[in-house]
Amino acid sequence: MPLHTREFLRRRHDDIMREWEHAVRSESQVVELEHAALRDHLPQLLNELAEWMESGEPVTSTSLKLSSAQHAANRLEHTFQLKQLVKEYRLLREVILRLLLLEETEQARNSMEGKAARVAELARLNAGLDAAISSGVEAFSSQREGKLLAVQERLELALHAADVGAWDFDPPTGTLVCDARCKALFGLPADAPVGTDAFIAGLHPDDKQRAEQAVKAALRGENGGDFRNEYRTVGIGDGIVRWVDTRGKAFFDSAGRATRFIGTVLDITERKSAETLREQFLGILGHDLRNPLHTIVTAAAFMWRSGKLPPGLDRALAGIARAAERMTRMIRDLLDLTRGRIGGGIPITPASIDMADVCRAVVEEMSMAYPERSVSVQAHGQFESDWDRDRAHQAVGNLVGNAIEHGSDPVVVSLTRSDDEVVVAVTNAGDPIPEDRLRILFEPYHRVGEGHGLGLGLYIVSEIMRAHGGKVEVASSRENGTTFSLHWPRHREGPRASGGPGGP
């Protein structure tokens, strides 16, 4: 009895889908799907194919397009690549032909008339599968193109609304493509050609090396290829100096070679100008107040140590010392902020010191300013290495002052050491710092709680530690209180200043 392909497709429907699913899962897949989602509209396509084989309609019939188009659209929603969709159809063809030929081999039909009919049926089956594949690929490509155009249009509108420029660099060829806004930020007209040479030529001389290093780091794959840098441009056509914030992402092939580097650029000139003016004003103000305040602090300390204070004046003098100490910290932090933002970082001058002596000096000063508070040092032995004494005093002082202002007693400064580092831990009791605040504690102008400072103390501490090649950590809980830990490295290559904003 002759084997008709349409009957085979209906009778072996489940076998075909089971063999196909096994074949698909045996291949490496970009996207993995569950049973029902994987089969999707393909069972329906087999039924349509059987009906079409029986109908005798031409291969251009639309009856084969519906399920294949729906399957393609579903695969696009699951973020399939086109090659994975085509692979599914190729495996479907292979499974159908293999099962069909195996069944025919078992029947062993030998008549020439039967063979000619079978060849014609197989040719029609193959043509039908080709039509389904073409329909699916066409639907996939058309819908993907429509989605990409819609995304591109939304992106262009968003960039225009935000006044943001965009750039696209092709590392293998060195081709750089910039939109009109990006060109404008380099002082170029919209129709001007822009290459890497023009980009480099448009960088401010003082920022050129830093910007180039940041780009090279991203193309090497550092930080996952993420790129962010703030630098100045000098307009090639107009000579205007602008500050820009540039962000991008590098993409890589399987061998780790950069294949694409895209990003955005935003004009931040007004913001930078405002920041510079504010910090210059604060720096001048802090410098002019420092000398008269130093006189107050020195006089208060002299009277305290004289031991000849009339009864009752000790508390008044403590209040003066406390206010002067707070003002001294504020002014010092203002000057350091200005130096760090404008001057390229906090400078340090390392020399051989004992960190325990520094901590004891800090606690002595704080005890004079806050005689009612419990502040102590726990240090056994010597803790010597090369650090900047004044900066170490400042960092520990900021943490102790912060603990007194925002925490409860006791406030304990403890020191531990290893071969590689000395750790100074400042611990206080009291309510823990909220979890959402821990991530931004060391940002400038951020206050831990209600206080009288400018919110610069912890920022300055982090900059001092960075300048020493160390770090500051914080842990806070209701059970153990709040502890800030300063990790001072005992072996360093040499002094350095912390980097300014936008550094690589």
What pLDDT was estimated at residue 181?
83
User: At 373, phi and psi to the nearest 5?
Assistant: -100, 155
What average pLDDT does the structure give for the chain? 79
Report the distance separating Cα 132 and Cα 267, nearest Å: 51
What pLDDT was estimated at residue 362?
93
DSSP string, 162-188: HTEEEEEEETTTTEEEE-HHHHHTTT-
Q: Is it the case that residue 74 has pLDDT exceeding 50?
A: yes
Report the distance separating Cα 486 and Cα 127, nearest Å: 74
What pLDDT was estimated at residue 136?
72
Q: Would you state the structure tokens that stand for residue 29, as one six-digit string? A: 């897949």
Per-residue model confidence as pLDDT tens digits over 367-411:
888 888 999 999 988 899 999 998 999 899 999 999 998 899 999
Per-residue model confidence as pLDDT tens digits over 114-165:
565 666 667 667 767 777 777 777 777 776 666 655 555 565 565 566 568 8
pTM tops 0.85: no
Mean pLDDT computed over 456-460 = 83
What pLDDT was estimated at residue 354?
96
Report the distance separating Cα 52 and Cα 56, nearest Å: 7
Report the distance separating Cα 403 and Cα 409, nearest Å: 9
Mean pLDDT computed over 16-37 = 78
What pLDDT was estimated at residue 500?
34
Residue 355 or 35, more confident = 355
Mean pLDDT computed over 79-98 = 80
Per-residue model confidence as pLDDT tens digits over 211-245:
899 999 999 999 899 999 898 888 877 788 889 99
Q: Could you tell me the pLDDT band of residue 494, with boundaries at 50, 70 and 90?
A: very low
H or E stretch including 259? strand 258-267
What pLDDT was estimated at residue 502?
32
Mean pLDDT computed over 44-58 = 79
Residue 148 or 303, more confident = 303
Pairing of strands 384-387, 226-234: unpaired
Mean pLDDT computed over 416-425 = 95
Residue 348 or 290, more confident = 348
What pLDDT was estimated at residue 106?
63
Residue 56 or 43, more confident = 43
What pLDDT was estimated at residue 504?
27
Instruction: Return the SS3 of 443.
Output: coil
What pLDDT was estimated at residue 420?
93
Q: Could you tell me the pLDDT band of residue 361, with boundaries at 50, 70 and 90?
A: very high
Residue 288 or 402, more confident = 402
What pLDDT was estimated at residue 499?
37
What pLDDT was estimated at residue 161?
62
Pairing of strands 351-354, 421-429: unpaired
What percent of the chain shows pLDDT beyond 70? Answer: 79
Lowest mean pLDDT among 169-178, 214-223, 226-235, 299-308: 299-308
Residue 341 or 227, more confident = 227
DSSP string, 187-251: T--TTS---HHHHHHTB-TTTHHHHHHHHHHHHTTGGGGEEEEEEEEE-TTT--EEEEEEEEEEE
Q: Is it the case that residue 498 has pLDDT exceeding 50?
A: no
Quote the distance between the C-alpha of residue 151 and its chain's center: 23
Mean pLDDT computed over 309-316 = 76
Residue 113 or 82, more confident = 82
CB contact at 8 A, 253 and 259? yes
Mean pLDDT computed over 170-188 = 85
Q: Is it the case that residue 258 has pLDDT exceeding 70?
A: yes
Report the distance separating Cα 191 and Cα 175, nearest Å: 16
Q: Which of 107-111, 123-127, 333-337, 387-391 has the highest mean pLDDT?
A: 387-391
What pLDDT was estimated at residue 449?
56
